[in-house]
Amino acid sequence: MAGGRLEGRVAVVTAAGSGMGRAGAIRFAAEGAHVWVTDLDGTAAEETVAAIAAAGGSATARQVDVTDVDALRALFAEVDREHGVLHVLWNHAGIPGPAGLAGTEEEWQLTIDVNAKSAYFGTALAEDLLERAAGKASVLFTSSVSGLVASPSGPAYALAKGGIVLLMKSLAVSLGPKGIRCNAICPAAVETPMLRDFFRGVPAEQHEEFKQSFVAATVPLGRLFSPEEVASVALFLACDDSSAVTGVALPVDGGYTAK
C-alpha cells in the first residue's frame, strides 16, 4: 500500500464501523498501521476490516460496547497480548443525545457514557501500552464544534463534548512527560450516517433542503465535509508530522467557529 507515515504502528479506533471512524481506520491502515477496528455493530466493524484487507492493509475487527469498562479492558488486554504496544488511540465513539432539556435521565446518562466515559476509561486502560511507544504515542478524541461553542439544540451533547476538550487538555499535560500526545478533533457538519440525527424534527422530505440552508448560513466555506477530510486531519495528529502538537482542540468546520 502507498503511504507509510504509520508504518509498523498499532492503532485502535472506536466506532470505526461507519462514517469518520471507518474513514480514519482505512486511512491509518493505508499508511502502514495495523488497525483494531471496534464498533458496537460487529458486522459493521467486519465490513471496515474487509475494506482495509481488500486494499492490502492489516486490521482486526472487534465488537465492543465502549460504555462497558470491562469490555474496554478486555480489548486492550488483547492488544497487549498481540502487540505489547499501542501507538495511536482514537476515541471516536459518540451519539447526539436528546434534544434540548427534554431527555430522560437514561438518555442523558447514555450520552455522557458514550461520548465521555468511554474516552476517559479507554485512555486510562491504554496508558501503559501507549507509554511503551517510546514517544511515538498519539491519543485522539472526537469532540465537536459543540464542544467549543453553544449548542442550544443539544446541551447534553455539548456538555459531553466540552468535557472531552478539557479531558484532552488535562491529559496532554499529565501524559506529555510520558511521551504521549493528546489532541481533539472538533468537526462541524460532516456527511455521515449520524448527521440526520442532528437535524431533529425536520421531515425526511425536507432534510436535504434544510441541510443545505444550514450549511449556507453557518459554514463560511459553504459546504458539508466528507469523512475522508476528517480522516486526513486524524492522520496528521496521529503521525510524526504533528510531533510537536499536543493539547490542541482543532476545529474541522469550514470556519463555523471563526464567526
**Is the per-residue pLDDT at 201 higher than 80?**
no
Per-residue model confidence (pLDDT) at position 100: 92
Give 198's pLDDT tier (boundaries 50, 70, 90): low
CATH of 10-253, one of 3.90.1150.180, 3.40.640.10, 3.40.50.720, 3.10.20.90: 3.40.50.720
Mean pLDDT for the stretch of residues 218-229? 93
> What does the pLDDT look like over 3-22, one tens digit per residue?
599 999 999 999 999 999 99
Position 111, amino acid:
T
**Which of 1-10, 149-158, 161-170 shows the lowest per-residue confidence on average (mean pLDDT)?**
1-10
**Is the per-residue pLDDT at 110 higher than 90?**
yes
Per-residue model confidence (pLDDT) at position 3: 57
**Is the per-residue pLDDT at 154 higher than 70?**
yes
Mean pLDDT for the stretch of residues 92-99? 95
Mean pLDDT, the chain, integer: 94
**Is the per-residue pLDDT at 48 higher than 70?**
yes
Catalytic residues: 157
Per-residue model confidence (pLDDT) at position 195: 67
Specify the residue for cell string 440552508: 213
**Is the per-residue pLDDT at 101 higher than 50?**
yes
More confident residue, 1 or 53: 53
What is the pTM assigned to this prediction?
0.94
Give 44's pLDDT tier (boundaries 50, 70, 90): very high
Q: What percent of the chain has pLDDT over 70?
A: 95
Query: Nearest Cα to 72, choosing from 89, 49, 51?
Result: 89
Mean pLDDT for the stretch of residues 226-235? 97
**Which of 106-110, 113-117, 127-131, 148-152 shows the lowest per-residue confidence on average (mean pLDDT)?**
148-152
Domain ranges of the chain: 10-253
Measured from the Cβ of residue 246, the count of other Cβ atoms closer than 10 Å reads 20
Per-residue model confidence (pLDDT) at position 1: 45
